[in-house]
Chains A and B, each alone.
Chain A
Amino acid sequence: MTDPIFIERLPAAGDEWIDRDQRLCFSFEGRCHRAYAGDTVSSALWGNGVRLLGRSFKYHRPRGVYSMCGHDANVMLEDGETPNIRGDTTLVEDGMELTAVNTVGSLRHDLAGLNDRMSGFLPVGFYYKAFHTPSWMFPNWERMIRGIAGLGKVNPAAEWKPSPKGYDACDVLIVGGGPSGMAAALAAGRAGGRVVLVEDTRCLGGSLCYAGATAPESAATVNSMRDELEKLENVEVRLNTSVRGCYSENWLAFIGPGGLTKMRATAVVVATGAYEQPAVFRHNDLPGVMLGTAAQRLVHLYRVKPMQRALVLVGNDYGYGVALDLKAAGVEIAAVADFRETIGKGELVHDVKTAGIEILAGQGVYEARPAGGLVGIKGARVCPVNSAGTGLSTSATNVNCDGIVMATGWAPAGDLIGQAGGRLDYVPEAAQFRPGELPPGMFAAGRVNGVFGVDARLEDGEHAGGQAAAFAAGKEVPARRRPADEITAPSYPYPIIKHPKGKAFVDFDEDVQVKDIVNAVKEGYDSVELVKRYATVGMGPSQGKISNLNSSRVLATATGQAVGAVGYTTFRPFTRPTTIGELAGRRFHPDRRTPIHSRHQAAGAVFMHAGAWLRPEYYGPLVRHQAIVREVQAVRRRAGVIDVGTLGKIDVCGADAAEFLERMYTGRFSDLKLGKCRYALMCDESGVVADDGMSARLGDDRFYVTTTSSGSAAIVREMKRWAIIWGLEVTIIDHTGQFGALNLAGPESRRILGRLTDLDIGADSFEYLGFRQAVVAGVNCRLMRVGFVGELGYELHVPAQHAAVLWDAVVEAGQPEEIMPFGVEAQRLLRMEKGHQIIGQDTDALTTPLEAGLAWAVKMAKPFFIGQRSLKIIAPRPNVRSLAGFVMHDSTVMPAECHLVVDGDEICGRVTSIARSPTLGQVIGMAYMRPDQTIPGTVIDICVEGRLVQAEVVKLPFYDPSNERQKS
């Protein structure tokens, strides 16, 4: 293997971010590179002289370092595991093997680079204008387009890693650890209360970490503030943590070393600084053209010399500082081109002049001159400009350089303000947006607030910190005020120079050029939102952070409006793309298990999900069908036991308990005798079947009600609400989780139960639909004699902690009869043989009791029940469909549930339940059909896989129509 590439850095400086004692190795596009710990991939590569770091999305143009702070969406890497790794902010780790995303061949020899030459044929929105005719060709084109779209590759074999999540709360949250944020933290911290300061990068200081000549005293300032902050115990500083979104009521999401933190802050100070904005000219995207702050970051943080000879293009005084920094780093400064006709008189300008650097006032860059293969530049053509952004090519002069460094202005990092519902207003004097009205509890300070001088930022931060602390403490909040700022216009209003040949990029993620926006406007897409959608400005991974402002400027010019009138597109989370893994956290999947769960496991149950519950579907080891038949036969012939602990179990008590049930349910309950239970059907207000269960009378003023498993929470809730509305003296106690329950059923069940209790359970003393409270197997138990499965049977309800004991006792006591546990499937079959409906299976979201064959349970003569008034409207009309039973004489073709009952073209209904009945030896089912078809003997057509099969309608139930067995 070849030696790793490494070029030594600039001499060490005290505040650099690299650790020269730790050397790392990594590979990029198959070449080995050396780096220092603390390097990002981009800093290491650029330091090693690599200029081609990635390719653009659409034209596959070479791209290099641009912002060095997370907006370099074209330096996107992958390692086979993770797609879309940002080179500019991702730290090098030893052994990394990286390649650039989205190249055809390799980064250097990217065949898709041809797109750039074809760019004339691929104008804005080109894909709307072609490929659709002839239409049969479109799928082919589409396949091709899908193939070339997209950036990184996912690895379908990648394993999921849980990621932690945490909650936190504070009085004042400060976002951004630059000078204004630190000042705010100090002010808020001194006022007391819990203050949290989050900083995206690895240390406090913000822009002062790399400010160089632009803020010479910065190291001292940062150090002393950091020391101060450390003394405040109520201030917590979180580094490497970035706020990703601000949601309603100051609920913020950040990602840091501990994963996702969800923070509730009473007050928030947004001190997020500003995004430096590029100038726009032909070839402003090529490697070597970069933002001033990117050059400063390379120089000060990573000690990388960004280029050999630079043209510094400025629109503010800050850029002069950048020029000085570069010069100090050994970069030859070809010239400073200043967009402004009248250049500033500040110290930095003075120093540049003193240093003998040539200043070209009123000049911008007409174009960069590409080096071979567009990988880098070899010079710039500089020309005088006017404010409309037309450069005069005729008077352009050549400047030789391998880098163009742009310091022409800023956009506030106002994402969180926008997300929180605040506004940014365009301030023409400053040529940029500034926070306007802020939402309650949110304050802004520093550069995001349009304040640029260091002293002013400190003052602004201190004031905002004080405001936030006052707000958090519920005190009067001092008025907003702007500190005097020595820097008045940090942004140049129109750093954009058109070029007849184009390739002047506004958006790098999406390769949107000035002319694309102009052409979009010509086509009628003349508002920011329409331009965004048509030209895809700001739609890429950097979400417009270094393109939206220029886009608004171009749009304003093209439509003859002011930038303020054009405005900006909505700020949406996330401020920075956030991984699905971090957002998902640990992915909890709570399952509800009944207290008897372990017994089912031991008995070889196969479980199924029933809503939130896990229930035995059937018991192995037989295959499904055989197991179910065996369980059914056990119940019919001997005895079986099923866990019904998932049912809703509710005590309804109070003087008005009976009246309450009269109103909640369709049946009668005031006449229900003590020691009796009854079927209970519930409708919603529109008369649709909502739930069912049993209701037992425990006392004059006490009932015990069961509900369906899935309905229980909602039924308890609705009961509580109606109790309040009706003002009845009734209390609803939800025992669903507190009680376990089982159903012992089958001809031998009396004998088995008798072994476990002293209660007189003789056929006459504990009759069908009787209810008792007694000790069974040493446990206090509520017993209901019910017949859901159509046999003699007892439902036993006990406190959850005794449920397993009871189960064991029943199973034990049933040994002589070979009792068998049965699951949900056997129960479904058994109840169907008996013609009992399951709410939700044999009914749907619009079924009335009249259609479902439940009219017998509806007492329309009562004064009132929920749904009654609606049923009075519906009842006089003929039903559209009715539920009825059917049998199949020829069961070679077996319909499935939800196969349709049809009559010619007409859909009459559907099969809701069907099974081969082991008891009856034939296929039986229930189905909705036209009411005239429900007459027994009618032959109906069921459509099965396109074939019509015949079934004969029969009277329900199929099994034991005289109810002898369940009543026995």
Chain B
Amino acid sequence: MKIMTCPVNGPRPLQEFVYGGDLTEMPCPDQATDEQWAAYVFERDGAPGLHKEWWYHAPSGVWFIAERDTGTDEICRTYLYND
């Protein structure tokens, strides 16, 4: 099993974490066209490569960002959203 490093709690087995999808930026709802909005809601970057992802450390309730290569499953960096 993989180990993931929670920026607050340190290295933990992957089972303690919940994947939260790619980090995406919400377009301004008032300015986005319907199509842009639908793209935000549904489209994903499904190709292998380095992704910025949301991860949640369930026992402690910490959300953070992991930079992970979805091709190799290598986690390059984890940090809090605001860092």
Q: Does B47 contact A (CB under 8 A)?
A: no
Are A868 and B29 neighbours in the complex by a CB distance under 8 Å? yes
Are A251 and B2 neighbours in the complex by a CB distance under 8 Å? yes
Please pick, from B42, B54, B56, B73, the residue contacting A248 in the complex, using a CB distance under 8 A.
Answer: B73
Are B41 and A685 neighbours in the complex by a CB distance under 8 Å? yes
Are B1 and A870 neighbours in the complex by a CB distance under 8 Å? no
Given contacts A721-B56, A869-B29, contact A262 B81 (CB under 8 A): no
CA distance A187 to B54 in the complex (A): 42
Are B63 and A724 neighbours in the complex by a CB distance under 8 Å? yes
Q: Does A138 contact B (CB under 8 A)?
A: no
Are A864 and B29 neighbours in the complex by a CB distance under 8 Å? yes
For chains A and B in complex, what number of residue pairs have CB atoms within 8 angstroms? Answer: 50
Interface size, A (range): 20 to 34
Q: Does B48 contact A (CB under 8 A)?
A: no
Are B2 and A249 neighbours in the complex by a CB distance under 8 Å? yes
The residue on B at minimum CB distance from A725 is: B81
Chain B residues within 8 Å of chain A by Cβ, number: 22
Q: Does A734 contact B (CB under 8 A)?
A: yes
Given contacts A248-B73, A873-B37, contact A720 B63 (CB under 8 A): yes
Residues of A near B18 (CB, < 8 A) are: 717
Q: Does A554 contact B (CB under 8 A)?
A: no
Q: Does A686 contact B (CB under 8 A)?
A: yes
Q: What's the least CB distance linking A13 to chain B, in Å?
A: 44
Which of B29, B38, B42, B54 has the most chain A CB atoms closer than 10 A to its own CB?
Answer: B29
Q: Does B8 contact A (CB under 8 A)?
A: no
The residue on B at minimum CB distance from A262 is: B1
User: Which residues from 671 to 730 on chain A have a C-beta closer than 8 Å to any C-beta of chain B?
Assistant: 685-686, 713, 716-717, 720-721, 724-725, 727
Q: Does B9 contact A (CB under 8 A)?
A: no
Q: Does B49 contact A (CB under 8 A)?
A: no
CA distance A264 to B3 in the complex (A): 10
Residues of B near A868 (CB, < 8 A) are: 29
Q: Does B34 contact A (CB under 8 A)?
A: yes
CA distance A732 to B32 in the complex (A): 30
Q: What's the least CB distance linking A760 to chain B, in Å?
A: 38
Are A721 and B41 neighbours in the complex by a CB distance under 8 Å? no
Residues of A near B34 (CB, < 8 A) are: 873
Contact flags A855-882 to B (C-beta < 8 A → 1, else 0): 0000000001000111001000000000
Q: What's the least CB distance linking B56 to chain A, in Å?
A: 6
Contact flags B6-39 to A (C-beta < 8 A → 1, else 0): 0000000000001010000010010010100110
Q: Does B61 contact A (CB under 8 A)?
A: yes
Are A721 and B20 neighbours in the complex by a CB distance under 8 Å? yes
Q: What's the least CB distance linking A863 to chain B, in Å?
A: 9
Q: Does A131 contact B (CB under 8 A)?
A: no
Which of A247, A249, A734 has the most chain B CB atoms closer than 10 A to its own CB?
Answer: A249
User: Which residues from 47 to 74 on chain B have a C-beta closer than 8 Å to any C-beta of chain A?
Assistant: 54, 56, 58, 61, 63, 73
CA distance A804 to B67 in the complex (A): 47
The residue on A at minimum CB distance from B33 is: A873
Are A870 and B54 neighbours in the complex by a CB distance under 8 Å? no
Q: What's the least CB distance linking A439 to chain B, in Å?
A: 11
Given contacts A721-B20, A724-B81, contact A251 B38 (CB under 8 A): no
CA distance A249 to B81 in the complex (A): 26
Contact flags A734-748 to B (C-beta < 8 A → 1, else 0): 100000000000000
User: Which residues from 225 to 271 on chain A have a C-beta closer than 8 Å to any C-beta of chain B?
Assistant: 247-249, 251, 262, 264
Residues of B near A725 (CB, < 8 A) are: 26, 81
The residue on A at minimum CB distance from B1 is: A251
The residue on B at minimum CB distance from A866 is: B26
Residues of B near A717 (CB, < 8 A) are: 18, 20, 56, 58, 61, 63
Residues of A near B81 (CB, < 8 A) are: 724-725
Are A734 and B41 neighbours in the complex by a CB distance under 8 Å? no
Residues of B near A721 (CB, < 8 A) are: 20, 54, 56, 63
Q: What's the least CB distance linking A540 to chain B, in Å?
A: 29
Contact flags A134-154 to B (C-beta < 8 A → 1, else 0): 000000000000000000000
Are B82 and A248 neighbours in the complex by a CB distance under 8 Å? no
The residue on A at minimum CB distance from B73 is: A248
CA distance A893 to B29 in the complex (A): 49
Residues of B within 8 A of A (CB): 1-3, 18, 20, 26, 29, 32, 34, 37-38, 40-42, 54, 56, 58, 61, 63, 73, 81-82
- The 7 sampled A-B contact pairs (Cβ below 8 Å) are A247-B1, A249-B1, A262-B1, A721-B54, A725-B26, A868-B29, A873-B38
Closest 7 CB pairs of A and B: A869-B29, A724-B81, A251-B1, A873-B34, A721-B63, A685-B41, A686-B41
Given A264-B3, A727-B82, A870-B38, 17 additional A-B pairs, CB 8 A: A248-B73, A249-B2, A685-B40, A686-B41, A716-B61, A717-B20, A717-B58, A717-B63, A720-B61, A720-B63, A721-B20, A721-B54, A724-B63, A869-B29, A869-B32, A869-B37, A870-B37
